[in-house]
Amino acid sequence: MESFDVFPSYNDSISQYGRIADDTASMISGYTNGTRRTDLQSQLDAASAFDHLSISGEGSSAANMNGYGKGSAANGAPVLDNDEDYEGPMDNGKANGIVDLPPHACSYCGIHNPASVVKCLICSKWFCNSRGNTSASHIVNHLVRAKHREVILHADSPLGETTPECYNCGSKNVFMLGFIPAKSDTVVVLLCRQPCAAISKDISWNASLWAPLIDDRSFLSWLVPPPSEAEQLRARQITFVQISKLEDLWRENATATLEDLEKPGVDDEPQPILLRYEDAYQYQNIFGPLVKIEADYDKRVKESQTQADVAVRWDLGLNQKRVAWFCLPKLESGEVRLAVGDELRLRYSGEMLAKPWEGTGNVVKVPNNVSDEVGLELKRNDGVPTECTINFTVDFVWKATSFDRMQLAMKTFAVDEKSVSGYIYHKLLGHEVEPQVLKTQMPKRFSAPGLPELNHSQMYAVKSVLQKPLSLIQGPPGTGKTVTSASIVYHLAKMNPGQVLVCAPSNVAVDQLTEKIHATGLKVVRITAKSREALESPISFLTLHCQVAANTAHVELQKLIQLKNEQGELSQSDERKYKTLKRNCEKEILAAADVICTTCVGCGDPRLNKLKFRTVLIDEATQAAEPECMIPLVLGCKQVVLVGDHQQLGPVIMNKKAARAGLTQSLFERLVVLGNRPIRLQVQYRMHPCLSEFPSNMFYEGTLQNGVTAPERLRKHVDFPWPVPDTPMFFYQNLGQEEISSSGTSFLNRTEASNVEKIVTKFFKAGVVPSQIGVITPYEGQRAYVVNYMQFNGSLKKDLYKEVEVASVDAFQGREKDYIILSCVRSNEHQGIGFLNDPRRLNVALTRAKYGVVILGNPKVLSKHPLWHYLLTHYKEHGCLVDGPLSNLVPSMIQFSKPRRPLDKSLDQYRRHEVSAKEALAVPAQAGRSGTPSRFDSTFFRTHDPTSFIPPDLQSQANYSSGVPAFATNAGPFAQVPRAAAGGGGNGVKRNGYGGYASSIISQDVGNAAITDSGSVIGSSLATPSQRQVGQGNIAFSQSDRLRRRLSQSSMGGTSDLGSMSAFDYKSQQDAPDLDDVRSQYSVSRASQSGMTEF
């Protein structure tokens, strides 16, 4: 066991609520005023600062001091002798309970005991070390949310006006700082985690005893004593939600107070998304503001990422363009994800140039395991100050292109009748329509030339898609979604006139699908963004710009292209001629293509403006936000195929308000909830059968079949110590504590990082190729730490470790490796497990490996959560839950904690829409809101939809009158069905409260639905049940109710005793989950995917 693992044991010996040892003052005083390290005797005078403390403690070891550091504020705080004289901020002895607070009072709760408050050096606000009603102390809460990292203690505190900083390098990042007790027991040394503590060789202290200054999300109590219980009781009570709002408000107004939160309009929530929409205008008026909120947030964040004092090295690219190489430390926070093709601005205003210089360019390389450098290819070579290497400033250049295209697509959907067919229009809005079957001549064989033969479920999917105007295909991991999609595209292109538009939200997915479609012999054109045209890829020859360059039919164009490459730019007349010839050539190539492939946002490219696409296929549709999917759909589609898996990761939404309003739900998911049955591919060809067993049973009702056998996925020549030789998986028990990473917004676990290196080294020695090993961790802090740890501590060549990919779960989605190591990171007593509680994230992590999986985590902590409890039980039953050194793994004897709540309750937090029609349409009157619950309702934060299979005989049939659903009976749960809030299909006016849930309100005849009300549906009053014309459809049970009845009456083959997510009874959540778990789901966004965690 690593030496730092012994620290938690000291916590058990604390008996005086974390009272401070008598030598604590002198031990830490060495850092006041920059001294950082000193002898105990020379600091005895500092003990006078502790006169007001009740002194206890018989030893003076730093280990005991660290034990006090782990004392929880919940258990009390250092007891003050003059506590009865301390007048809290909310002392009722004052008139009206109002007290004039000193400047150093906590900006959250008002506590102003100098010993317990800390000043943030960035914003100059004071905060205390009390947790109050939150899981982190107020100062840590602020530092994390504001992304500030430097503090100073109060001048009247026991340690004086001290700024904690690293003894070696002077770093003041409190999330990096920790202490090491000196061997003489007279001083402690503050060192940063990396690199100083990692490389420290000083004989005066033992670097392995390093422990962080922030533990359990609060400062150690010997550094900043938490307020006493009496002080905390007298303090202003502030909630997590108020803290979150206040921090958001401070970004715009640094002087804002809690009282400002009560002002009207300060924190209005956007109107949440609905399950069904009256018309496209209502659809646009709900999604439009959400897209704008996300765009504004993205713009604000990117423009705030300016990095000054950047050192640059210059290089010359293959195309003779200048490339600047530099590092951007701010990327570590995970708030911004830098991607290839992004635009940055480089500025220089130093003394070496007569006048300031600036240039823009596109990113050609992003940080990875090998290098943290960013490569920026400048657009222009003239005037580039290559002689300058320091004092540069880097700005993010924000572009509204993607957001503008989403807004335009929704507007087109509303105003252009020809944008989509009538059937697709009503299906997208959630209206009940008669199913349509397309009259097509079925091909004799469904497999496409140049692609593998399809299995039964894949052939069924192809056959079904060819006959329907709207199809959903669910492709679990390794089931051949790409091959199936390419086969579908091949037949659609051969059977239907016109071109097929193929898209996906990411460039990687588009490239993979383009390559497969090209293999069938179809003429394919891949359209890329202009910012990515310089990038090389396996399918570059299929891109539009490369086909233009290779087109020999246009001689004059070829000459101009050659001239432009040689000179870098053309004259104005030549440039105009070049653009005209290029545009004409592009039109010819596009017109001759069978299939056009691009990203969803790329479908809004002006080059496609004049084209209409009858057939559209969207791959990875569950990873795209709904407005993003609308861009390709409004190009005249009459047949739509959505391919994805709503049991894997969903769209990335940065803004919390937009996420809470439901923008994180994909169109695929909403259509599934509406009762559109997805066709599931059922044979997986990736994983060893033992690796697919748990995901199949837990996420796919046990329906996944194995297309590979155990012998095919067992490498006998790889000498790795699997606990069960023919079962290449194990859960490796690690009890090391989690720590907050240097960014303050993520976590790391040094024990797990150390064991990751040992496992990777073991794989190397067993003959595994480094590129076929993947390390997955949900947290960016752990990712960065593992990469550095392997480089500094790996026992083999450094180059080997550089080839091992260490990335987030999100980065691995859609990909595979031979062996996967999953580092769970989270290990604490009561802080929750954050991202790990997301079932979709776990599903992706467990299904990336072909030959073997190793999971590192703390079973004691993870087993408190039902999903992980089932996983740990699964591993234990197979003899794969182990402990001990790698060379001698033995079954773990650990006893699991009982889950805090049943699995069905724990999954409620991931729900964005109620699955059952009863809950979706008949919201209880007392709830007072519709659609998406508010931020206070923890049931809303669901990131997967369990309704993955709805048999056709269970689909709802309903007829409508008066514009609202009506049923043959008014009894039971459907006695009252509220109508949508009036507003003319959404007039953009913000509602003061939540109206009734918007049901399927149709203002025109749809199929056989009878609408007899002569008045306008929009804004009309709700007729009583007796006044409604009752339709023929009688829904006695909701979709999920009837699905559960079916599953219980006829057990589906292959279902495990563990059951599946779809088999649980989802009702409104009465026992809210841990706030930490709920809040962490806010970060299932772009930053979150980097490992950013909210407290």
Which pLDDT belongs to residue 174? 93
Q: How confident is the model at residue 332 (pLDDT cuts 50, 70, 90)?
A: low
Q: Omega into 195 within 30° of 0, i.e. cis?
A: yes
Q: What is the mean pLDDT of residues 1033-1060?
A: 37
The residue with greater pLDDT, 703 or 184, is 703
Q: Residues 821-850: pLDDT tens digits?
A: 999 999 987 778 887 888 999 999 999 999
Calpha distance 427→336 (Å, rounded): 35
Question: Other CB atoms closer than 10 Å to residue 193's CB: what's the count?
Answer: 23
Lowest average pLDDT, out of 46-60, 107-121, 888-902, goes to 46-60
Q: Which of 514, 577, 574 is nearest to 544 (CA)?
A: 514
Q: How confident is the model at residue 537 (pLDDT cuts 50, 70, 90)?
A: confident
pLDDT higher than 70, residue 139: yes
Which pLDDT belongs to residue 467? 94
Calpha distance 190→178 (Å, rounded): 6
The residue with greater pLDDT, 606 or 559, is 606
Lowest average pLDDT, out of 405-414, 681-690, 1069-1078, goes to 1069-1078
Strand partners, 358: 347
pLDDT higher than 80, residue 1082: no
Taking each helix axis from N to C end, the angle separating 866-877 and 689-699, rounded to the nearest 10 degrees, works out to 150
Q: Residues 779-822: pLDDT tens digits?
A: 989 999 999 999 988 999 998 999 999 999 988 988 899 999 99
3-class state of residue 182 by DSSP: strand
Token pair listed for 119 = 């000043």
Q: What is the mean pLDDT of residues 471-497?
A: 95
pLDDT higher than 80, residue 73: no
Which pLDDT belongs to residue 579? 86
**Is the distance from CB of 225 to CB of 77 less than 8 angstroms?**
yes
pLDDT higher than 90, residue 870: yes
> For all residues of the chain together, what is the average pLDDT?
76
DSSP result, 357-424: EEEEEEEEE---SS--EEEEEES--TT--TT--SSEEEEE----HHHHHHHHHHHHHHH-TTSB-HHH
Q: How confident is the model at residue 439 (pLDDT cuts 50, 70, 90)?
A: confident
Distances (CA, A) of 435 to 279, 432, 438, 680, 689: 20, 9, 10, 19, 38
Q: Residues 614-646: pLDDT tens digits?
A: 999 999 999 999 999 999 999 999 999 999 999
pLDDT higher than 70, residue 1057: no
Q: Residues 664-685: pLDDT tens digits?
A: 999 999 999 999 999 999 999 9
The bridge status of strand 679-680 relative to strand 470-474 is parallel
Q: What is the mean pLDDT of residues 971-990?
A: 35
Q: Could you tell me the sign of the dihedral formed by the alpha carbons of 232, 236, 240, 243, in that order?
A: negative
Q: Which residues make Cβ contacts (< 8 Å) with residue 805, sequence separation at least 6? A: 369, 771, 773, 774, 775, 817
Q: What is the mean pLDDT of residues 127-147?
A: 92
Burial of 291 by CB count in 10 Å (0-12 exposed, 13-18 middle, 19+ buried)? buried
Calpha distance 720→759 (Å, rounded): 9
Calpha distance 372→328 (Å, rounded): 8
Calpha distance 600→406 (Å, rounded): 10
Which pLDDT belongs to residue 634? 97
pLDDT higher than 90, residue 355: no
What secondary structure letter does DSSP report for 503?
A: E
- Return left, alpha or beta for 949; rule: phi > 0 is left, psi -120 to 50 is alpha, else beta: beta
Amino acid at 305: Q
pLDDT higher than 50, residue 967: no
pLDDT higher than 90, residue 760: yes
Q: How confident is the model at residue 99 (pLDDT cuts 50, 70, 90)?
A: low
Which pLDDT belongs to residue 836? 86
Which pLDDT belongs to residue 20? 30
Domains of the chain by range and CATH? 3-236 (no CATH), 238-267 (no CATH), 269-304+402-523+594-681 (3.40.50.300), 312-389 (2.40.30.230), 526-593 (no CATH), 684-900 (3.40.50.300)
pLDDT higher than 50, residue 773: yes
Which pLDDT belongs to residue 939? 31
Q: Where are the beta strands (DSSP E) in 106-240?
A: 117-120, 126-128, 151-153, 177-181, 188-192, 211-212, 214-215, 218-219
Statement: the pTM of the whole predicted model exceeds 0.85? no
3-class state of residue 77 by DSSP: coil
Q: What is the mean pLDDT of residues 104-130?
A: 94
Calpha distance 207→672 (Å, rounded): 55
- φ and ψ of 960, to 5 deg: -120, 145
Which segment, 332-336, 555-559, 877-881, is predicted with the most confidence on average?
Answer: 877-881
